[in-house]
Each structure stands twice: as C-alpha cells, then as structure tokens.
Amino acid sequence: MEIPATPPKATYSSIGRRTADGVNLNEIWNELAEVLAVQNSQRSNLASLVSFSTTAVADPIPQVPGADHFEEASEFGEPTSLRAAPDALIMGYDFKDYDLANRFTWKFLRDATAEQVRSTIDRTVNADNRLVNGTVLRRLFDNTQGLNEFQHNVYPIWNGDAMIPPPYAGQEFGVSNHMLASGASVIDSDDLELLISLVRSKGYGLQPNTRLLILCNPAQSEQIASFKRGVPSRPREGAETADVLPRFDFIPSAAAPAYLTEENVVGKVAPGEFGGLPVAGSYGPAWVIESHYIPAGYVACVATGGPNSDLNPVALRQHTNPAYQGLRVIPGRDQRYPLQDSFFARGFGMGIRHRGAAAVLQVTTDLTYEPPAWHWR
C-alpha cells in the first residue's frame, strides 16, 4: 500500500480527542501535515546551495562546462549538429531510508499539553534538517568512492584517483586532487587561492549564472577576515620560510557591522545574504559564508548556480514515487488515532554530479587529507 504524501485528515472520536489544555488532536495532526509541507518545499538553505534534487539513480554528466561552438556558414552541406558530450561520465547516487518514532501513547496524549506535543514535532523537524544538511556536506568532504544498488559508481570530487579531468580552455590535466591538506595549523591566503584556482581552472564558477562560495566554520572565517593584501596571512615559521602574502583583501559584506577605514573600496561589495544565508564578506572572486555546519578545520570552495541548480556539485536523490519524497509522517497502528505510535521517515541519497565544481581543504599539519569525523547527523 502506498503511503500518501500528505497525511490523511485526523478523525478522532469524542473519547481522548483533546490534549490536557483543551486543544483538539485533529488540529495538531492537520497542523503537522502543513508543517511538513513547508519543510519539504523549503529545503535547508546550505544544502540547496550545493546540491540539486533528482529522482535519477545516475546521470551522464559532462565533467567540464558546456563548450559548444558555431562554425562559419557555407553553401556546402549543413552545419554541425549539437550532440551529447563525448566526455560525459555516469555519476551514480546512493539511497537510504531513515526514520524516527515519537512513541506517543494514549495516556501521554490524554495528559500532555499541546505545546508538549508540538515540541516533539519541532525536534523531529530539526533532526531532519541536520540529517539533510549533514549528509550533503558529508558527501562534499568525503574522499571515498562507492557503488549504489544498481552498481553505478558514486564518486567524490576529484580526489587524486586515476581518472583524468577532460581538457578545458586549452588546458590539459593530469591526475587532479581537489581534496587537500594545508600542512600548517592555520589557514593562509595561499590555501584559499589554491582552492579557488582548482575550481576555476576546470571551468566552474566562471559563467554569469554561477557564483564561487567559500564555506567555512566561524573559526576559519575569523582568520580569513584578517587577510589583507601585502600583509602576511600566516606568521613565518622560520628563516627558511617566506611570508605568505595575500593577492586580495578580505572585504566585509553589506551586512557587516559598521567600521572605520582610511581606504576606499573599489568594486562591488558582496551582498548581506545569498540563497538565504548570511555572507560574511568576499575574498577575490569568492563570497565567504560561515556556518557551524562546516566542521572546524575544514574549508570548501564551491561553484554554485543558486538554490537547487543543476550546476551544483552534489546530487540529492529522492524516490521516483512522489509519495515517498521529502519528510513524511506515518500514522500509528490505530488509524483512528494517527498521532499515537506514529513515526517520521525520509528516504534520500547523495552523489557528486560535477567533480570539478568544488575543492576542499583540511587545516592540519599533516600532508594527507582525512575527511572530518562527523559527530552529528
């Protein structure tokens, strides 16, 4: 039996149909359906900026932005036709089901207030938000490759494997690694500029409808905010090392607190927000967005086409059946009292679509990249 995308209207009998403070349980159930509808239509801002929703199990994705060309017209023959890109790579996406029960009993619903019932629903929505955000970011920072249930490869971004990126703008690439270790305990401007260069050299973040973002934890954002052209971005570690001099100034965004300066800003200041997320400022061609969802000690440079754009690097796979998409609430065994023993479910999966559209850095004295140990979901 298919589970409906929208929970059915509740029909509590006259017995036990209200909470202890007199709120009708039918209203709470129907209110829950409305909350989930909003949650599913407004997916987390951070996740949507780096991902694209799809129901496909795999897609043939060219690993370089489109570069079709006109040819000079001639009276002889017909022009060359547009065709599928020969360098398309089959990008697979995995899929898993997740659920969470509330375990409401008739005794609890009899004596609980409406606020107690709603607080449990709020906690579920927050848990779902962490789940989606965490899984998207985990895929972005994970350097391992796997298989989905149809044996399609689920790739990370370029991680130094034997696969060679396709040429772009006359550039030929060898083995490419977009997952780097800084080799130092603090981030410096060279690290940031290298991430930006890796993404732009593959052709991403250069189109008018795309934007380069630096995603980082507030701990790294504070360090990036101190970068100033001509001023060393990291203390010299010995006589044998040279100063690391930034090529750009960090410029606070339009939403930054007021500050005094003796210098003039040349160029356009970054907006106060982008895609529903606050922008801290800009460094060169990239806008800096800080988030506690990004693990401390990790930084990502991502080329985004905006919320839920097919140009974004990560795919968020949903079930082909609309009834199984998004966060769902499943009524309990007794259909007369759907809140009792009900539970929540979400099924989705991840995979990288554009391997060159992102580059990540671990700030560490080690020379080998290790993905973050996620302590939350």
Tally of structural domains, the chain: 1
User: pLDDT tens for residues 215-232?
Assistant: 999 999 999 999 999 888
Distance of CA 300 to the CA centre of its chain: 11
The pLDDT assigned to 4 comes to: 44
Higher per-residue confidence, 190 vs 76: 190
Report how far residue 43's alpha carbon sits from residue 326's, in angstroms, rounded to the nearest whole number: 9
Could you tell me where the beta strands, DSSP code E, fall in 245-364? 250-252, 273-274, 277-278, 281-283, 286-290, 298-304, 314-318, 328-330, 343-352, 358-362
Has residue 73 been placed in a domain? no
Angstrom CA distances, 63 to 27, 138, 307, stand at 50, 21, 20
Has residue 57 been placed in a domain? yes
The pLDDT assigned to 12 comes to: 43
The pLDDT assigned to 66 comes to: 63
301, 196 contact by CB (below 8 A): yes
Has residue 70 been placed in a domain? no
The pLDDT assigned to 1 comes to: 36
pTM of the predicted model as reported, rounded to 2 decimal places = 0.83
Around Cβ 206, how many Cβ atoms within 10 Å? Answer: 16
Has residue 81 been placed in a domain? no
User: pLDDT tens for residues 106-146?
Assistant: 888 778 777 777 777 778 888 888 888 889 999 999 999 99
User: pLDDT tens for residues 284-332?
Assistant: 999 999 988 899 999 999 999 999 999 999 999 999 999 999 888 888 8
Which amino acid, residue 52?
A: F
Has residue 104 been placed in a domain? yes
The pLDDT assigned to 9 comes to: 52
- Alpha helix segments (H runs only) across the chain: 25-41, 45-50, 106-111, 114-141, 189-201, 218-224
User: pLDDT tens for residues 160-200?
Assistant: 999 999 888 889 999 999 999 999 999 999 999 999 999 99
Query: What number of CA atoms fall less than 13 Å from residue 226's CA on the CB side?
Result: 13
In the block, tokens 């934890």 appear at 217
Report how far residue 165's alpha carbon sits from residue 155's, in angstroms, rounded to the nearest whole number: 13
Has residue 101 been placed in a domain? yes
245, 189 contact by CB (below 8 A): yes
- Domain limits at 280? 25-62+88-257+268-362
Least confident of 22-36, 69-83, 220-234: 22-36
Average predicted confidence (pLDDT) for the chain? 84
User: pLDDT tens for residues 245-282?
Assistant: 899 999 999 888 777 676 777 678 889 999 888 999 99
307, 48 contact by CB (below 8 A): yes
CA dihedral sign, ordered 58, 62, 63, 66: negative
Report how far residue 339's alpha carbon sits from residue 26's, in angstroms, rounded to the nearest whole number: 9
Higher per-residue confidence, 348 vs 43: 348
Has residue 15 been placed in a domain? no
Has residue 376 been placed in a domain? no
For the chain, the farthest-separated pair of C-alpha atoms sits apart, in whole angstroms, at 85
pLDDT bracket for residue 15 (50, 70, 90):
very low
Report how far residue 286's alpha carbon sits from residue 192's, in angstroms, rounded to the nearest whole number: 10
The answer, yes or no, to whether residue 97 has pLDDT greater than 60, is yes
Q: What integer is the mean pLDDT of 337-363? A: 92
Report how far residue 64's alpha carbon sits from residue 173's, in angstroms, rounded to the nearest whole number: 12
DSSP string, 194-225: HHHHHHHHTTTT-STT-EEEEEE-HHHHHHHT
The pLDDT assigned to 321 comes to: 95
The pLDDT assigned to 315 comes to: 97
Q: What integer is the mean pLDDT of 346-355? A: 96
Share of the chain above pLDDT 70, in %: 83
Tokens representing residue 319 in the block: 């079930």
The answer, yes or no, to whether residue 14 has pLDDT greater than 50, is no
DSSP string, 74-127: -SSS-PPPP---TTEEEEE---EEEEEE----HHHHHH--HHHHHHHHHHHHHH
